[in-house]
C-alpha cells in the first residue's frame, strides 16, 4: 500500500487550517482494526479552535484503537459517538464557531474492507480502472441533527480490490482537480506509478499556487507500506551541531584512527586444588610480568591520546561557542542600531502628526501615525527581549501612537457590553440573525427552527419552518411587510403574522448555482453567487424569472476589465449594491455597472471582514470582523464613523441593525449582545 499526502499552500489563508492524519497499527491488538486515516479542514478559524483538528484526530485514534475487541465497523461507530459527545460539550460551552466551517473525513482499512464517514464538503473518490465513483455521496446528503448535537452520522462500508485508488479531496482542491481534469488523468495511470503522478501534478504547479487544502491518495498495492508527505511550501533546514562541527569531528577521526588501543591480555586462571600447590617455572612468570607491564604502558599512552582528542574537541567547541557569542553580540548591536533608526523615524513622524493635529488636519495626522505604527510595531513584538532602557522607549512611543490612532479612528473599547439574551445549547444553537419590527429572528442552516426574541420584553417564541427534514434556513431578508427565508438550494418561505407561506421553488438561473448572500430592495430579491461572481435578481413575486443583474459585456475602465465580484464575502442593497470583497475593499454597483471601489483606511487594519449591512433608511455602512472582535461603521463615502471592540466579542457569528441604524445586535456564540449607537 502506498500513501501520498499533498498539502497545498497551508499558509495562504490565515483563517484556514487543515491537516491529514495517517495511523498504522503498532501492535497485534491494533492490527485487528487495521489502518486509520483522517483529513480535516476548518474555515473561518478563531483562536480558540486553532488546535481543534488535532484534538479530534487524537480522540478518534485513541478511542478507535482502544476498542480492539470490536470489529473495525463497530469500533468506528462507537468512536463517532464519543466524538459527537465531545463536540456537543464544546458547543454547550458556547464555542459554536466551527459549526458549518468544519470538514472532517474518517475511514479505516482492514484486509481491503473500507469503513468511512465524514462531515462537511470533502470528496472521497474510488478510482477503479477508468471508473470514478464518489463513495461519500450518500454522506453528503445527511444533515446535522442538533438535539443532542450529532455531527458524524452513518458509516459506509465496502470491499476494495487490488490496485484501487482512494482519493480524499477538500472542497477547493476537489474543484481545482475537476477543472484541470486531474482526477481523470490519475484514473488513467495504468499501472499507477509515483513518477507519473508527480509529472501530472508538477505540470499544474502554477494553478496549484492559488488553492489551499488537502489531497490524500491511497493506492492498494501488494507491497511494503510506503508513505509520502508532500507540502507545496518551503521548509527551512534545521540547524545541526553535528553538521556544523563535522570537519572537526571527521578530522579528529583521521588523526586518531591510526592509534590502536590494545586490550589487556587474558591470563589463564589458576585452578587450585585442595592441598595441592602448583608452582610455575620462574622464567614463565617473568615473561608474563613483562607482557603485563608493556600492555599497561601502551594502555596509558592510548588513554592519554584519547583524553587529548576529547580535549581538542572540547576546546574547539568552546572556541566556536565563544566565536558565536561574539558574532551574536555584534549582530545584536547592529540590530539595535537599526531599531534605533526605526525608532527615531517613528518619533519624527509622530512629531509631524501632532503638528497636523494642531491645525485640525486629521487625515494627514492619521496617515503619519499609521506610518509610524508600521515602523515600530515589529519592534514592539520583540520588546521583551530588548535592553530595559530601549524597551521602555519602544513601549512608551507605541502607547502614544496607538492612543492617537484609536482616537482618530473612532475606536471605542467596551469592557461589558449589554447582554440581551443567551441560549442553552441543548435548546437551540443559532447561526444567523435578522431584525424586523422590534423582533429579532435567529435561525440556523442545520434545523427548521426559527426563534423570535422581542427586544423590549425579551420574550421568546419558537416556530418550525415548513421544510424537509434535515433542511434549515440559510439566508433571510426583508420582503414587503414580512420576512423572507431562504433554504438551499432553491426554496423560499415567507413569514408574516406568525404564519408561513410556501415553500416555493426558485427557477435556477444557470447550472451549478449556489446562492451565498441575500438582500432585497423594493421587494425585489438579489442573490450573490460568490463562486461565479454573479448577482441574480428575482423581480417582485416572479420566482420563475431570474435575471443576471450585472451587465454582461465587460468594459475597460480604471477599475479593470471585468465587473464580476469573484469570491466576494457579502452583499447589501440600498438602491446601490454594495459588495464586500475578498481583499476587504467595497465595490459599489449601480444599474448593473461598477461605479467605485472603496479601499478602507482603518486602524487596526482589517484582516478578515465577514459581512456588510446597510439600508435605504440609513446613510451608513456596517461591517463585522470576528477576527478582531469588532464592528465598523462607515459613511457611504468610506469615511470612518465609529468602531466598537470588546474582548467579549470573541465568537462573532452574525449581526443585525435596526431600521434607523441606531442599534446593533451581535450574535456571539450562544449570546446576543445589544449595542446602542450614539454620538454621531
Last residue of one domain, picked from the residues 361, 377, 408: 408
The tens digit of pLDDT for each residue in 523-563 reads 899 999 998 999 999 999 899 999 999 986 443 333 344 56
How many Å separate Cα 501 from the centre of its chain?
Answer: 40
Which pLDDT score is estimated for 593? Answer: 92
Tell me, what's the pLDDT at 187?
86
Report the pLDDT value the prediction gives residue 89, as an integer from 0 to 100.
86
Residues 189 and 267 in one domain: no
The verdict on 402 and 463 lying in the same domain is no
Q: Is position 237 within any domain?
A: no
Query: Do 48 and 90 belong together in one domain?
Result: yes
- Same domain for 257 and 179: no
Residue 36: give the domain boundaries: 2-232
> Do 372 and 349 touch, CB atoms closer than 8 A?
yes
- Whether residue 448 is found in the same domain as residue 498: yes
Task: Note whether 449 and 484 are same-domain residues.
Answer: yes
What's the predicted TM-score (pTM) here? Answer: 0.70
- Asked whether residue 189 is assigned to any structural domain, the reply reads yes
* Same-domain check for residues 466 and 429: yes
Q: Which residues contact 279 (CB under 8 A, 6 or more apart)?
A: none
> For the residues of 511-555, what is the DSSP string, one character each?
TT----EEEEETTEEEEEETTTTEEEEE-TT-TT--EE-S-SS--
Task: Identify whether 374 is part of a domain.
Answer: yes
Last residue of some domain: 165, 199, 232? Answer: 232
Claim to verify: residue 381 and residue 454 sit in the same structural domain: no
Look at residue 162 and give its three-state secondary structure.
coil
Residues 616, 654 within the same domain:
yes
Looking at the fold, whether 491 and 451 belong to one and the same domain comes out as yes
Residues 6+ apart with CB under 8 A from 548: 509, 534, 535, 536, 537
With respect to residue 672, please indicate whether it lies within any of the assigned structural domains: yes
Residues of the chain with pLDDT under 50: 141, 147-148, 224-225, 234-280, 553-561
SS3 content of the chain, % helix, strand, coil (to 5): 30, 30, 40
Q: In degrees to the nearest 10, what's the CA dihedral of 303, 309, 314, 316?
A: 170
CATH number of the domain bearing residue 660: 2.120.10.30
d(CA 419, CA 674): 6
User: Interior CA angle at 64 toward 60 and 70, to 5°?
Assistant: 155
Q: Are residues 316 and 384 in the same domain?
A: yes
The residues facing 598 across adjacent strands are 586
Domain presence at residue 578: yes
Tell me how many domains the chain contains: 3
**Domain stops at, among 357, 390, 408:** 408
| Ramachandran category for residue 367: left, alpha or beta (phi over 0 → left; psi -120 to 50 → alpha) | alpha
Judgement on whether residues 391 and 470 belong to the same structural domain of the protein:
no
Note the pLDDT tens digit of each residue in 315-357. Answer: 777 766 766 666 666 666 777 788 888 889 999 999 999 998 8
Amino acid at each position: 500500500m502506498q500513501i501520498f499526502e499533498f498539502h497545498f499552500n497551508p499558509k495562504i489563508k490565515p483563517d484556514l487550517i487543515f491537516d491529514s492524519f495517517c495511523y498504522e497499527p503498532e501492535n497485534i491488538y491494533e492490527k485487528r482494526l487495521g489502518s486509520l486515516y483522517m483529513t480535516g479542514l476548518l474555515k473561518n478559524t478563531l483562536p480558540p479552535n486553532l488546535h481543534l483538528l488535532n484534538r479530534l484526530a487524537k480522540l478518534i485514534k485513541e478511542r478507535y484503537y482502544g476498542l480492539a475487541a470490536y470489529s473495525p465497523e463497530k469500533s468506528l461507530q462507537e468512536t463517532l459517538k464519543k466524538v459527537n459527545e465531545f463536540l456537543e460539550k464544546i458547543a454547550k460551552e458556547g464555542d459554536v464557531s466551527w459549526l458549518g466551517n468544519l470538514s472532517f473525513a474518517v475511514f479505516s482499512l482492514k484486509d481491503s474492507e473500507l469503513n468511512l464517514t465524514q462531515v462537511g464538503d470533502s470528496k472521497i473518490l474510488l478510482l477503479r480502472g477508468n471508473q470514478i465513483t464518489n463513495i461519500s455521496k450518500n454522506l453528503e446528503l445527511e444533515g446535522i441533527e442538533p438535539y443532542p448535537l450529532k455531527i458524524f452520522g452513518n458509516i459506509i462500508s465496502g470491499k476494495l480490490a487490488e490496485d484501487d485508488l482512494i482519493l480524499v479531496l477538500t472542497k477547493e482542491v476537489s474543484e481545482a482537480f475537476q477543472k484541470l481534469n486531474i482526477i481523470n488523468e490519475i484514473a488513467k495511470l495504468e499501472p499507477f506509478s509515483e513518477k507519473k503522478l508527480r509529472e501530472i501534478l508538477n505540470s499544474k504547479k502554477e494553478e496549484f499556487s492559488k488553492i489551499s487544502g488537502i489531497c490524500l491518495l491511497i493506492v492498494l498495492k501488494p507491497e511494503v507500506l510506503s508513505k509520502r508527505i508532500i507540502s507545496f511550501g518551503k521548509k527551512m533546514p534545521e540547524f545541526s551541531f553535528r553538521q556544523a562541527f563535522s570537519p572537526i569531528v571527521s578530522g579528529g577521526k583521521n588523526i586518531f584512527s591510526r592509534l590502536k588501543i590494545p586490550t589487556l591480555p587474558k591470563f589463564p586462571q589458576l585452578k587450585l586444588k585442595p592441598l595441592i600447590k602448583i608452582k610455575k617455572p620462574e622464567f614463565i612468570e617473568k615473561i608474563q610480568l613483562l607482557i603485563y607491564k608493556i600492555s599497561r604502558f601502551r594502555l596509558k599512552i592510548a588513554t592519554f591520546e584519547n583524553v587529548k582528542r576529547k580535549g581538542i574537541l572540547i576546546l574547539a567547541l568552546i572556541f566556536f561557542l565563544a566565536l558565536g557569542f561574539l558574532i551574536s553580540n555584534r549582530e545584536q548591536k547592529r540590530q539595535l542600531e537599526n531599531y534605533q533608526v526605526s525608532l527615531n523615524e517613528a518619533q519624527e513622524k509622530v512629531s509631524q502628526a501632532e503638528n497636523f493635529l494642531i491645525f485640525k488636519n486629521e487625515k494627514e495626522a492619521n496617515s503619519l501615525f499609521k506610518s509610524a505604527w508600521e515602523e515600530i510595531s515589529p519592534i514592539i513584538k520583540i520588546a521583551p527581549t530588548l535592553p530595559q532602557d530601549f524597551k521602555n522607549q519602544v513601549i512608551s512611543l507605541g502607547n502614544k501612537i496607538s492612543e492617537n490612532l484609536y482616537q482618530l479612528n473612532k475606536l471605542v473599547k467596551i469592557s461589558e457590553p449589554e447582554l440581551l439574551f443567551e441560549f442553552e445549547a441543548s435548546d437551540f444553537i443559532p447561526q444567523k440573525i435578522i431584525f424586523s419590527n422590534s423582533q429579532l429572528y435567529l435561525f440556523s442552516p442545520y434545523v427548521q427552527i426559527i426563534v423570535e426574541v422581542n427586544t423590549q420584553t425579551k420574550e421568546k417564541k419558537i416556530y418550525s419552518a415548513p421544510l424537509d427534514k434535515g433542511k434549515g434556513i440559510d439566508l433571510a431578508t426583508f420582503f414587503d411587510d414580512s420576512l423572507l427565508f431562504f433554504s438551499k438550494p432553491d426554496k423560499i418561505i415567507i413569514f408574516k403574522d406568525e404564519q408561513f407561506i410556501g415553500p416555493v421553488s426558485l427557477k435556477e438561473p444557470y447550472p451549478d448555482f449556489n446562492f451565498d448572500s441575500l438582500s432585497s430592495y423594493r421587494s425585489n430579491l438579489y442573490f450573490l453567487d460568490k463562486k461565479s461572481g454573479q448577482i441574480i435578481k428575482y423581480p417582485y413575486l416572479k420566482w420563475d424569472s431570474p435575471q443576471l443583474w450585472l451587465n454582461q459585456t465587460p468594459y475597460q475602465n480604471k477599475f479593470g476589465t471585468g465587473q464580476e465580484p469573484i469570491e466576494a464575502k457579502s452583499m447589501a442593497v440600498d438602491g446601490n449594491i454594495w459588495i464586500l470583497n475578498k481583499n476587504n475593499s467595497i465595490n459599489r454597483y449601480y444599474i448593473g455597472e461598477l461605479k467605485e471601489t472603496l479601499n478602507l483606511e482603518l486602524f487596526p487594519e482589517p484582516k478578515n471582514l465577514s459581512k456588510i449591512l446597510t439600508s435605504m433608511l440609513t446613510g451608513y455602512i456596517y461591517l463585522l470582523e470576528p477576527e478582531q472582535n469588532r464592528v465598523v461603521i462607515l459613511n457611504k463615502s468610506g469615511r470612518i464613523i465609529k468602531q466598537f471592540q470588546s474582548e467579549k466579542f470573541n465568537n462573532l457569528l452574525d449581526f443585525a441593525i435596526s431600521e434607523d441604524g441606531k442599534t446593533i445586535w451581535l450574535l456571539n456564540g450562544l449570546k446576543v449582545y445589544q449595542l446602542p449607537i450614539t454620538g454621531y
